[in-house]
């Protein structure tokens, strides 16, 4: 597996984990408050969006430079 492919897989895993954390914070706020993680909700959502934007940008930029 090349470094580029590893980067894409790692980015997808990071997006899934971040989205899962946001969903937990959004749908189970009482559990998140008990764990002390509720104040992270806006930051987790913004991080997920930023990772999605970066992932699309990275794929578009790298797909342009692939030599087949």
Report residue 39: phi and psi, to 5°.
Answer: -65, -15
User: What is the pTM assigned to this prediction?
Assistant: 0.83
CA 61 – CA 59 distance, rounded (Å): 6
pLDDT tens track for 26-67: 999 999 999 999 999 999 999 999 999 999 999 888 777 765
Residue 17 has pLDDT above 80, yes or no: yes
**Domain residue ranges in the chain:** 3-64
């Amino acid at each position: 597996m090349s470094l580029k492919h590893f980067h894409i897989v790692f980015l997808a895993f990071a997006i899934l984990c971040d989205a899962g954390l946001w969903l937990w914070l959004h749908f189970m706020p009482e559990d998140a408050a008990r764990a002390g993680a509720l104040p992270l909700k806006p930051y987790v959502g913004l991080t997920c969006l930023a990772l999605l934007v970066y992932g699309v940008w990275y794929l578009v930029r790298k797909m342009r430079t692939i030599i087949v």
